[in-house]
Amino acid sequence: FLKKNGLNAQKLNLKFASLQQSDNCTEGEIGCISGLFAQCISGQWQTNACSAGTSCFALPLVNGAGTSTVCDSQTDALARIQATGVSGG
């Protein structure tokens, strides 16, 4: 499941790269908009800044199938994705 998680994280990060605050969303959906952590509340994206030195990324889970959307450093996010056996972020 690790490699699949890495690939899914890459796909999500690609999707997040073009996500805009004005885009439609589903209640409770989580994402990243311009490096900010975003959650869909009442049909609209609400964003929160990450702490200094971090941005929002989708990362692969390591103990089971899936991904997690969190604030992390770009270096760590890339390392976590590459650790699953895929290249790039």
The phi, psi pair for 85, rounded to 5°, reads: 100, 10
Kindly report the pTM of this predicted structure: 0.92
74-83 long-range Cβ contacts below 8 angstroms, 24+ apart:
81/6, 81/9, 81/10, 82/6, 83/2, 83/6
Q: Render pLDDT for 22-53 as a digit per residue (tens, 0 to 9).
A: 999 999 999 999 999 999 999 999 999 999 99
The structural domains of the chain, with segments of one domain joined by +, span 2-82
CA–CA gap between residue 44 and residue 87 (Å, rounded): 33
* Closest residue by Cα to residue 34 from 61, 13, 8, 60: 13
Amino acid occupying residue 80? R
pLDDT of residue 46: 98
Other CB atoms within 10 A of residue 33 CB: 19
89 vs 82 pLDDT, higher one: 82
